């Protein structure tokens, strides 16, 4: 790290340079790390003598498996049991077994396309909203990501810069994304200023059901598009350039080259992107929660927010019902995941 050349006079080297400080910190950390690891050896090596080298695999696996088992696997199983209980108590042993009552409650409906006719109308409103959101967000985003990826794959100036431009919002936290757009969309915000500047009337974007839905979808596309663009770009780059040259020689124009070379060869990547986007969109929650709070009314309330409110935020939490809803959500995700695994296997075999 030190920038001092080797031939520098001794006297100068004795002084503490900024680079030396970095060096010092690094060696202190490294020393502490090594000391810790050697110290652990004193405990772990006797264990190895006891169980033998080969069974040490279980030891290495253990910490991860404990946390995985306690906080992922066990809760997954518990969720099924929990969804069959009612009551206001938290601990499973204090709750009454109710069989499929929670599911029946969720599905007691006059007409599934009309949330008003359902006993648990909020669940169905959330379900409806989620379906609309998923269709438009995933559809719009995959299309835009594809266009962007194709454009970024061209011979352009400052390629690296433009690639990172589209990726930047992906890194922002959902809360920050929500706040940024809340600031822009508010009554006296930038967008309304532009609108009035062009001679229009200001619009209360987040207080109108349709506008709120529109912006929630658009903001989600803005925040996540770069991620899918990147995957599609990697897919595009794996298409051999020879194919395009051959197409050009055969007289195919730009559109034909895209339609008959790019699109078929990009299909596997496109499917992966589609499924990943679906899985993500079904779980939409945080940036919407910050941006609209689910409002106006219930216009932008989605499934995860329903689960969060039913199970935690409401005055009287109905955790059994929340569990039942999350089991249903899990089923939907499982279908998507299996579809992805199946597609992955298929493209690997191809």
Residues 251-290 that bind another protein (CB under 8 A): 254, 272, 276, 279-280, 283, 285-286, 289-290
Q: Which positions ≥6 away from 340 have C-beta within 8 Å?
A: 272, 275, 276, 279
Task: Give the Cα separation of 66 and 230 in Å (integer).
Answer: 35
> For 198-318, where are the alpha helices, taking DSSP H only?
209-237, 241-249, 254-257, 263-282, 286-291, 303-308
Closest contact distance (angstroms) between CB of 244 and another protein is 12
In order, the DSSP letters of 37-81 are HHHHHHHHHHHHHHH-STTHHHHHHHHHHHHHIIIIIHHHHHHHH
Closest contact distance (angstroms) between CB of 265 and another protein is 17
State yes or no: cis peptide before 38, omega within 30 of 0: no
Site for another protein in 304-323 (CB under 8 A): 304, 307-308, 311-312, 319, 322-323
Read off the tokens for 152: 């970024």
Q: Is 64 in the site for another protein (CB under 8 A)?
A: yes
Listed residue (107, 75, 73, 85) closest to 328, CA to CA: 107
State yes or no: cis peptide before 296, omega within 30 of 0: yes
Closest contact distance (angstroms) between CB of 289 and another protein is 8
Site for another protein in 104-143 (CB under 8 A): none
Closer by beta carbon to another protein, 125 or else 280: 280
Q: Is 234 in the site for another protein (CB under 8 A)?
A: yes
| Stretch of 4-12, 41-49, 125-133, 241-249 contacting another protein, by CB under 8 A | 41-49
Q: What does the angle CA 214 – CA 219 – CA 224 come to, to the nearest 5 degrees?
A: 130
Task: Give the Cα separation of 89 and 33 in Å (integer).
Answer: 45
Q: Which of 75, 99, 200, 240 binds another protein (CB under 8 A)?
A: 75
Q: Which of 16, 50, 72, 242 binds another protein (CB under 8 A)?
A: 72
Closest contact distance (angstroms) between CB of 317 and another protein is 9
Which phi and psi angles does 289 have, rounded to 5°? -55, -40
Size of the site for another protein (CB under 8 A): 101
Closer by beta carbon to another protein, 67 or else 263: 67
Q: Which of 1, 25, 30, 73 binds another protein (CB under 8 A)?
A: 73
Q: Is 74 in the site for another protein (CB under 8 A)?
A: yes
Beta strand 96-97 pairing with 85-86? antiparallel
| Stretch of 3-11, 126-134, 205-213, 336-344 contacting another protein, by CB under 8 A | 336-344
Closer by beta carbon to another protein, 13 or else 296: 296
Task: Give the Cα separation of 186 and 330 in Å (integer).
Answer: 35
Read off the tokens for 20: 């030396």
Give the number of other CB atoms < 10 A from CB of residue 98: 16
**Total count of residues recorded for the chain:** 350
Task: Give the Cα separation of 83 and 92 in Å (integer).
Answer: 10
Closer by beta carbon to another protein, 13 or else 295: 295
Write the interaction track for another protein spanning residues 182-201; mark x where CB under 8 A is met and - where it is not: xxx---xxx-xx--xx----
Q: Which of 231, 239, 267, 343 binds another protein (CB under 8 A)?
A: 231
Closer by beta carbon to another protein, 13 or else 122: 122
Site for another protein in 147-176 (CB under 8 A): 147-148, 151, 154-157, 162-176
Closest contact distance (angstroms) between CB of 171 and another protein is 5
Read off the tokens for 160: 């690296």
| Stretch of 3-11, 21-29, 115-123, 302-310 contacting another protein, by CB under 8 A | 302-310
Which phi and psi angles does 65 have, rounded to 5°? -65, -35
Q: Which of 123, 124, 222, 306 binds another protein (CB under 8 A)?
A: 222
Closest contact distance (angstroms) between CB of 343 and another protein is 12
């Amino acid at each position: 790290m030190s920038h001092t050349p080797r031939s520098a006079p001794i006297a100068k080297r004795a002084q503490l340079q900024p680079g030396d400080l970095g060096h010092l910190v690094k060696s202190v950390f490294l020393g502490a790390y090594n000391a810790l690891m050697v110290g652990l050896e004193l405990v772990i090596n006797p264990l190895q003598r006891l169980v033998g080298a080969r069974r040490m695999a279980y030891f290495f696996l253990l910490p991860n498996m404990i946390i995985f088992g306690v906080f992922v696997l066990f809760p997954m199983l518990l969720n099924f049991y929990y969804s069959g209980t009612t009551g206001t108590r938290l601990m499973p042993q204090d709750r009454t077994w109710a069989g499929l009552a929670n599911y029946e409650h969720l599905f007691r409906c006059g007409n599934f396309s009309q949330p008003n006719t359902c006993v648990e109308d909020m669940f169905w409103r959330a379900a409806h909203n989620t379906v609309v959101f998923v269709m438009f967000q995933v559809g719009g985003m995959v299309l835009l990501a594809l266009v962007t990826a194709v454009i970024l794959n061209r011979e352009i100036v400052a390629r690296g810069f433009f690639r990172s431009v589209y990726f930047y919002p992906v890194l922002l936290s959902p809360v920050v994304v929500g706040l940024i757009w809340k600031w822009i969309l508010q009554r006296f915000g930038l967008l309304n200023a532009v609108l009035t500047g062009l001679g229009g009337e200001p619009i209360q974007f987040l207080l109108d059901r349709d506008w709120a839905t529109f912006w929630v979808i658009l903001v989600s596309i803005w925040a996540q598009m770069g991620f899918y663009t990147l995957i599609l770009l990697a897919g595009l780059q794996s298409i051999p350039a020879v194919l395009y040259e051959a197409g050009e020689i055969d007289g195919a124009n730009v559109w034909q080259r895209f339609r008959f070379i790019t699109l078929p060869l990009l299909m596997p990547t496109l499917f992966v992107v589609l499924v990943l986007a679906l899985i993500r969109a079904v779980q939409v929650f945080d940036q919407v929660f910050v941006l609209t709070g689910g409002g106006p009314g219930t216009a932008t309330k989605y499934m995860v927010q329903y689960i969060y409110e039913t199970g935690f935020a409401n005055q009287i939490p109905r955790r059994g019902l929340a569990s039942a809803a999350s089991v249903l959500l899990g089923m939907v995700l499982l279908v998507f995941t299996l579809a992805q695994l199946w597609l992955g296997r298929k493209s690997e075999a191809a």
